[in-house]
Amino acid sequence: MYLKEFSLKNYRNYESLHVQFENKVNVIIGENAQGKTNMMEGIYVLAMAKSHRTSNDKELIQWEKEYAKIEGRIEKQNRFSTVELIISNKGKKAKLNYLEQKKLSEYVGHVNVIMFAPEDLNLVKGSPQIRRRFINMEIGQVSPVYLHQLNKYQKIIQQRNHYLKLLQTRKQKDEKMLDVLTLQLCETASNIIKKRYLFVKQLEKWAQPIHSSISRGMEELRIQYKPSVDVSEEADLSKIVEVYYDRFAKIREKEIERGTTLAGPHRDDLIFYVNGRDVQTFGSQGQQRTTALSLKLAEIDLIHEEIGDYPVLLLDDVLSELDDFRQSHLLNAIQGKVQTFVTTTSVDGIDHKTLKEAAIYRVSSGQLI
């Protein structure tokens, strides 16, 4: 898969941009605060219908403009398609081959991207929320069903938390509605957790050889999914629903007391082990970075396995954060395989064949020069 043409209108600091890219490494060079990351974010938003930098869509619209528009022309398995996303105060509208999509979950996944930014190096040592977001974003773009289940789950959580608050403040005394919401939550949570277990297994399969190679055969990576409810990976759906329901029955009083849902996929986590030790707690910064890099490179193969095509890779200011050996490993892994976008202030000091053969674009004040 590759992004052949790309346009931005009223997007952040870009009033208007139209650019044609090549199916190889595309390097975007510019000083800080000129719009390199905004362009990368634009590609990401076009694919995922949400930003990796902000949850407030209004920030994406240029100052005093009513809407922002992102367009792309994609070649996927020798077929061309056009994708378009319009962001306004009323929300988002997505079009695929000029036809408006009723649901964003039906649109996401037509363009597959992997973003690797400096904050992704915090994937291992950061908060559980970062790791949950990582899981949701990656499964979401290869499984519309998962995305639908996740949206449904988030709506149920909102309703359930609202009802728990009413019970907490004694504005409501009838607990029957809580039973209904709890059952809905258990069923949706079971579907989500089943898919996550499968994803983690696949991710580990692809990440292990990469991690071993980067660590020169010295380290073995293991990934474990850590649910907030004691659910076995082998359990079938009905058993998982049962385990969840039992758990909620036990913590009901505590949930009413606190006015919030205390268990479920929104409180789960991932644990990474290197040579049997938890990297987050006991790993060096080098090991944490190697683990994060292995996960990102593993995603490329995982998406290829799922959809039969390679995703577009976005490397936003990440080369400067990696040492020469990891930099070299990353560039070797993508060489000739994946259309890649790299932002940097300068390519000086990075001596690699991949970058010497790259297409170069220069950005200044929201314009290509």
Q: Into how many domains does the chain fold?
A: 2
291 and 211 Cβ atoms separated by less than 8 Å: yes
Same domain, 282 and 175: yes
Q: Could you give the CA distance from residue 140 to residue 145 in angstroms, rounded to a whole number?
A: 8
- Let me know if residue 127 belongs to a domain: no
Q: Encoding tokens for residue 216?
A: 């020169």
Element (H, E) at 209: helix 176-214
Whole-number average pLDDT of the chain: 92
- Let me know if residue 126 belongs to a domain: no
Domain containing 364 — which CATH number? 3.40.50.300
322 and 297 Cβ atoms separated by less than 8 Å: no
Same domain, 293 and 159: yes
102-118 mean pLDDT? 90
Q: Could you give the CA distance from residue 240 to residue 235 in angstroms, rounded to a whole number?
A: 6
Domain containing 290 — which CATH number? 1.20.1050.90
Q: Which residues pair with 100 in a beta bridge?
A: 95
How are beta strands 25-29 and 359-364 bridged, if at all? parallel
pLDDT at site 172: 85
Q: Does the pLDDT at position 348 exceed 80?
A: no
How are beta strands 67-76 and 79-88 bridged, if at all? antiparallel
Residue 98 makes CB contacts below 8 A (sequence gap 6+) with 82, 84
Same domain, 66 and 196: no
Amino acid at 364: S
Look at the pTM and tell me if it is higher than 0.95.
Answer: no
Same domain, 281 and 182: yes
Q: Does the pLDDT at position 2 exceed 90?
A: yes
105-111 mean pLDDT? 90
Alpha-carbon torsion 338, 341, 344, 347, what sign? positive
Q: Could you give the CA distance from residue 42 to residue 185 in angstroms, rounded to a whole number?
A: 34
Name the 3-class secondary structure at 95: strand
Q: Does the pLDDT at position 349 exceed 80?
A: no
Same domain, 251 and 353: no
Q: Which residue has the tokens 């039973």?
A: 179
Give the residue numbers spanning the domain of 161: 146-306
Same domain, 320 and 272: no
- Let me know if residue 47 belongs to a domain: yes
Same domain, 162 and 290: yes
- Let me know if residue 120 belongs to a domain: no
* Whole-number Cα distances in Å, 106 to 143, 152, 262: 10, 14, 31
**Which residue, of 306, 338, 361, is where some domain finishes?**
306
- Let me know if residue 99 belongs to a domain: yes
**Which residue, of 306, 323, 352, is where some domain finishes?**
306
Same domain, 204 and 106: no
DSSP letter for 97, please: T
- Let me know if residue 37 belongs to a domain: yes
178-186 mean pLDDT? 96
- Let me know if residue 185 belongs to a domain: yes
256-270 mean pLDDT? 96
User: Tell me: the pLDDT tens digits for 38-87?
Assistant: 999 999 999 999 998 888 999 999 998 999 999 999 998 889 999 999 99
Same domain, 176 and 299: yes
Same domain, 225 and 292: yes
Report helix, strand and coil shares of the chain as percent, to nearest 5: 45, 25, 30
- The percentage of the chain sitting over the pLDDT mark of 70, rounded to a whole number, equals 99
User: Tell me: the pLDDT tens digits for 327-345?
Assistant: 888 888 888 889 999 998 8
- Let me know if residue 141 belongs to a domain: no
Same domain, 314 and 301: no
Same domain, 37 and 176: no
